[in-house]
Structure 1
Amino acid sequence: MSGRLLFLVLLAVALAACQTRDEIKPGYLSGAGDDGVAVMTTSATAKPKPSQQKESRYFIEFRSRYALTYGHSYVVFGRLDQKGQMIDPEVAGLAPASKSAVPYVLGHYVPVPSETGWSDGDLEDKYRSASWRVMLSEAEYRKVVAYIRKLKASSPVWHAALYNCNAFVADIARSMGYKAPGIWLRPQQFIVKLRQMNGGPNPIGYTGPPG
């Protein structure tokens, strides 16, 4: 085995993020900023305001989770019950379509086949590193879901620098009229910045310790 091939194999074993079977770094339940200092944010599972309950039970949540390297960003969407709990939520996010770390490594050089659905740890709060939830009317929800379906069907490849998980989430945010930060941030930083740019005075969000 040549030295270069051995290096790629070792790198593939060491790196695994933004893919469907990440080994995930456990998160924490206490909120903290990127410098590890606690921040004042509302939990993403917090009960919506009474006015929101009457007008809408639909939501989309921009979220990131921990992983061995960068982490992963994606969206969760669906409806909430009267206690503010998700009802059969759906997940959309861009990642290399493989359980192996090799496509992830190759995706730093050339585009690799992608998948756009749920990946391990996406819906577990202990792995959540940041989030921003937006409540929607039924009409708004149907519009954004239609866009997500279209985006999933037209996103066949993943590339770490050209079109990664952040870029996928940014497209969804912009389709809703929001501003989006640069796609080369770490996923946690990306979601926090997205929330800060668009969340207004009382965003429903969460920030965990740096991953």
Structure 2
Amino acid sequence: MRLGLGRLSLVVLLAATTVSCQSEDKPPLPHYVSNYSDYGAPSGEVARTGEKRHFIEFRSRYALSYGHTYVIFGQVNKAGQMINPEVAGLAPATLDPTPYVIGHFVPVPAETGASDGDLEEQYRSASWRVMLTEEQYNSVVAYIRDLKARSHFWQASVQNCNAFVADIARHMGYKTPGIWLRPQQFVTKLREMNGG
């Protein structure tokens, strides 16, 4: 009986992963910036007090596969342009496609930094920027650094890039969509679920 349940669980898991890859991405969606977040104060208030303007941006990009979800964080200038942004995301730790394919079945070694195309505008498929106070920013960055230090494996249906970003969003108190969505759909749904 247990063997039958194990096989059934594997079939359901593989089906969920396959279904998430079947829809198609839309053209790039507009940039969304939240002037106010339940997590923080109005960005205008932050600017008036003379504090530096900090942000976290939940972002997805196109790729040869179904895409990638990650966060960008740092400061912005008065025009809203990023100043020395940092990137955090979860992906197989190689450019070789073999571990990526294997990672759909078993965990493979992961990396948690920037990957090719993360900061290139032509690959951005969806984004949601949340403005933060310096105190909030420091809390989120400390959490991201801790999450990066303990994220050693990538697996497509359990510990994928959406799960990594969802962990950060939950730390901030946000509701998160299922991790089996395509990255563009994940970021869009994350924004919509939280009033962004």
Q: Same fold (TM over 0.5)?
A: yes
Q: Deviations over 1:184-204 (max 9, x none)?
A: 000000000000001x2xx3x
TM-score (normalised: structure 2): 0.77
- The CA distance in 1 between the partners of 2:27 and 2:82, in whole Å, is 20
- The CA distance in 1 between the partners of 2:31 and 2:129, in whole Å, is 10
1:147 aligns with 143
Identity of aligned residues (%): 65
Give secondary structure in 2 for the equivalent of 1:160: coil
1:69 aligns with 65
State whether residues 28 and 127 of structure 1, in contact with CA within 8 Å, keep that contact through their aligned partners in structure 2: no
Given residue 137 of structure 1, which amino acid in structure 2 is its aligned partner? Answer: T
Q: How does 1:15-164 map to 2 (within 5 A)?
A: 31=29, 42=31, 50-55=44-49, 57-164=53-160
Q: What is the CA-CA distance between 1:170 and the residue it aligns to?
A: 0.1
The size of the alignment, in residue pairs, is 162
- The CA distance in 2 between the partners of 1:155 and 1:74, in whole Å, is 14
- The CA distance in 1 between the partners of 2:43 and 2:112, in whole Å, is 32
- The CA distance in 2 between the partners of 1:179 and 1:110, in whole Å, is 28
Q: What is the CA-CA distance between 1:52 and the residue it aligns to?
A: 4.6
Q: Deviations over 1:147-186 (max 9, x none)?
A: 0000000000000001000000000000000000000000
Q: What is the CA-CA distance between 1:51 and the residue it aligns to?
A: 3.7
Q: Deviations over 1:5-26 (max 9, x none)?
A: xxxxxxxxxxxxxxxxxxxxxx
Give secondary structure in 1 for the equivalent of 2:185: helix
Q: Which runs of 4+ in 1 moved over 2 A?
A: 41-44, 48-56
Q: CA RMSD in A?
A: 2.0
2:21 aligns with none
- The CA distance in 2 between the partners of 1:122 and 1:43, in whole Å, is 17
Q: What is the CA-CA distance between 1:68 and the residue it aligns to?
A: 1.1
Give secondary structure in 2 for the equivalent of 1:67: coil
Given residue 120 of structure 1, which amino acid in structure 2 is its aligned partner? Answer: D
State whether residues 28 and 126 of structure 1, in contact with CA within 8 Å, keep that contact through their aligned partners in structure 2: no
Structure 1 residues 43 and 169, CA gap change in structure 2 (3 angstroms): closer
1:173 aligns with 169
- Tell me whether 48-57 or 65-74 shows the greater mean CA deviation: 48-57
Q: What is the CA-CA distance between 1:69 and the residue it aligns to?
A: 1.7
Structure ranking higher in helix proportion: 2
- The CA distance in 1 between the partners of 2:46 and 2:108, in whole Å, is 41
Give secondary structure in 1 for the equivalent of 2:131: strand
